[in-house]
């Protein structure tokens, strides 16, 4: 008879499989018994899980928003203590997008944007990106010139975040995004461009595309 593997051990094994640059992993716990599903979802409450039958979905984030790996370990340990068994699996993994060192925070914004796109996989479909301006004096004018990408302020930094969709869904096109950066360049508004998250080959059905949760809200 095979020994049941504790969920804490399964989580440890998953972490060992993750790439060095991972930022977020989406997980699915399928409990062995339906009668345990509601209790398991309750114990995983701090991770904001979603439940469908015996399957419970939640995520862990290596940095930024989301449940930390240590929090996930503590949560699944609760399940182990209550003898709730199941299988913990990876649904998807997001990795940090490497920034071209030579262009990080330097050069025209449109050139930086093109360099960021070049570093992405060929099948990228959706982006969550930011532009940080060199001076807060340019915030008002920058917001006007970036209006087509629906820019949103974030934190205390003098900049904006926005979504980009390559073919369909919610977000500006990469071409429109480049034109907006060219407008900033034309008025000598300097700054740095960075892609925060990237998804590949998404295929939304009856939706406007993928959803990112940042600071507890949808972006």
Whole-number Å distance between alpha carbons of 202 and 75: 30
Per-residue pLDDT of 116-141, as tens digits, reads: 999 888 888 889 999 999 988 899 99
Last residue of a domain, one of 95, 123, 139: 95
In a domain, 144, yes or no: yes
Same domain, 85 and 145: no
Task: Find the domain containing 24 and state its range.
Answer: 7-95
In a domain, 142, yes or no: yes
- Residue 103 is predicted with a pLDDT of 40
Q: Is the pLDDT of residue 159 over 80?
A: yes
In a domain, 72, yes or no: yes
Per-residue pLDDT, averaged over 60-76, amounts to 82
Same domain, 147 and 168: yes
- The mean of the pLDDT values for the chain is 85
Per-residue pLDDT of 27-57, as tens digits, reads: 999 999 999 999 999 999 999 899 999 999 9
In a domain, 145, yes or no: yes
| Domain count of the fold of the chain | 2
- Residue 1 is predicted with a pLDDT of 35
Same domain, 83 and 128: no
């Amino acid at each position: 008879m095979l020994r049941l593997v504790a969920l804490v051990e399964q989580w440890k094994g998953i972490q060992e499989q993750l790439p060095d640059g991972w930022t977020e992993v989406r997980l699915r716990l399928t409990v062995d018994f339906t009668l345990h599903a509601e209790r398991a979802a309750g114990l995983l409450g701090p991770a904001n899980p979603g439940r469908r039958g015996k399957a419970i979905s939640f995520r862990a984030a290596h940095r930024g928003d989301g449940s930390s790996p240590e929090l996930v370990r503590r949560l699944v340990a609760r399940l182990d203590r209550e003898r709730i068994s199941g299988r913990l699996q990876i649904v998807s993994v997001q990795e940090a997008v490497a920034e071209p060192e030579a262009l990080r925070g330097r050069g025209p914004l449109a050139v930086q944007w093109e360099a960021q796109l070049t570093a992405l996989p060929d099948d990228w479909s959706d982006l969550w990106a930011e532009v940080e301006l060199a001076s807060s004096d340019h915030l008002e004018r920058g917001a006007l010139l970036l209006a087509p990408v629906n820019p949103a302020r974030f934190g205390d930094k003098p900049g904006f975040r926005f979504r980009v969709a390559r073919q369909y869904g919610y977000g500006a096109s990469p071409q429109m995004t480049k034109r907006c950066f060219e407008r900033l360049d034309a008025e000598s508004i300097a700054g740095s461009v960075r892609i925060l998250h990237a998804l590949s080959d998404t295929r939304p059905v009856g939706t406007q595309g993928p959803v990112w949760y940042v600071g507890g809200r949808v972006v």
